[in-house]
Amino acid sequence: MKNLIVVIEDEEDLLELLEYRLEKAGYEVVGFKSTKKVEDFLEQEEPDLLIVDRNLGGVEGSEFIKNIRERGYQTPVVFVSAKDSDEEIEEGFLRGGDDYITKPYNINELLLRVKAMLKRTKALNCGKLTCKDILLDIDKREVYIKDENIKLSKLEFNLLLFFMQNRNRVINRDELIENIWKDKDFNQDKTVNVAVNRLKKRIELDEKDAHIKSIRGVGYEFC
């Protein structure tokens, strides 16, 4: 499966060049000329890397990254920018950048940094699932929300794991019963509802942090 890279660059020629070189290197690439529609895209997709210019129309690139970091997005970020003073580079890292390349830059160096970043991220994320502010460690059976360790029962953990593995897909109650309770003859919707509602209370610390959506008459969707 190809790594998905999002490029935010307002210079059209440079954006097209980056898309071409990254695709030629074997990556799936989606390009944007501003940050305007990027957050909507992140709600639907989980890119492996963001390459972000800072001098953008509208929201400045590092400000955008700072904002999404505060909302729990942990996608690795490489800034590419003409802002090259020591203070500006430090600012980029403090706002959530993982790497920083100043313009003009060597495209081959960028490709090498992208490759190294993805390799390192893959190693760090082995056995882990993330969704906005939630980090689930499968091996340790631990859950963190905004860096706070949340204690879940075995049932709650298994439910959350199944939801995160099936993100943005409507899951009916029969599927939950078969995969979580492991009993095709188990048919107690009330028990399923109670378990899911208990999980919601554990992980949704605020109304704006809602993850589990009830689909009336069908089941649930995790987003």
What are the tens digits of pLDDT across the range 63-108? 999 998 887 788 899 999 999 999 999 999 999 999 999 999 999 9
92 and 16 co-located in one domain: yes
pLDDT tops 90 at residue 188: no
CB hemisphere CA count around 162 (13 angstroms): 22
User: Are 149 and 136 within 8 A, CB to CB?
Assistant: no
CA distances from 96 to 40, 49, 92, 159 (A): 19, 13, 7, 31
Spatial CB neighbours of 67, under 8 Å, sequence gap ≥ 6: 59
In the three-class reduction of DSSP (H, G, I as helix; E, B as strand; rest coil), residue 130 is classed as strand
Structural domains counted in the chain = 2
Domain boundary among 100, 124, 148: 124
Instruction: Identify the CATH number of the domain in which residue 53 sits.
Output: 3.40.50.2300
87 and 134 co-located in one domain: no
pLDDT tops 80 at residue 161: yes
Higher confidence at residue 126 or residue 13? 13
In the three-class reduction of DSSP (H, G, I as helix; E, B as strand; rest coil), residue 206 is classed as coil
* Average model confidence (pLDDT) across the chain: 89
Instruction: Identify the CATH number of the domain in which residue 151 sits.
Output: 1.10.10.10
pLDDT in tens, 11-53: 999 999 999 999 999 999 999 999 999 988 988 888 999 999 9
Domain coverage including residue 39 = 4-124
Range list of β-strands (E), the chain: 4-8, 28-32, 49-53, 77-81, 99-102, 128-131, 134-137, 142-145, 148-150, 170-172, 212-215, 219-222
User: Are 221 and 196 within 8 A, CB to CB?
Assistant: no
156 and 194 co-located in one domain: yes
72 and 182 co-located in one domain: no
**Residue 57 — very low, low, confident or very high, per pLDDT cuts 50/70/90?**
confident
157 and 116 co-located in one domain: no
Q: How many Cβ atoms are within 10 Å of 220's Cβ, its own excluded?
A: 24
117 and 57 co-located in one domain: yes
The closest of 21, 14, 3 to 116, measured between CA atoms, is 3
112 and 205 co-located in one domain: no
pLDDT tops 80 at residue 62: yes
